[in-house]
Amino acid sequence: MTRAIHRFREYEFGPDQRPEAEPVTFTMQCLACGLFSRKSEDSEGGSVWARTHLRENPGHLDYRAHATRPYRFLPGLWQ
């Protein structure tokens, strides 16, 4: 019979802040028709799109902001 030794490791989970991490991106979605703005690294880009979309579609009053932020587990100490 073979004996196994198991080691456990702690991990910390949080936003990926490495230089090579994907950028945080933002989009805006019209809830009336489901259309999305383009992805942007600027959080205000979707607001500009929403105002333009509202001018073209006066009844489209409700929107949802989507932010995509990469996360990563950071290995910690072995137990």
The answer to whether 56 touches 33, Cβ cutoff 8 Å, is: no
- Decide: pTM greater than 0.85: no
Is residue 12's pLDDT more than 80?
A: yes
**Per-residue pLDDT band at 1 (split at 50, 70, 90):** confident
Mean pLDDT computed over every residue of the chain: 95
Burial class (CB in 10 A: 0-12, 13-18, 19+), 46: buried
Give the pLDDT mean for 24-28. Answer: 98
Residue 62: CB atoms within 10 A of its CB come to: 8
- The pLDDT, as a whole number, for residue 38 is 97
Find the radius of gyration of the CA atoms of the chain. Answer: 21
Is residue 5's pLDDT more than 90?
A: no
- The pLDDT, as a whole number, for residue 54 is 99
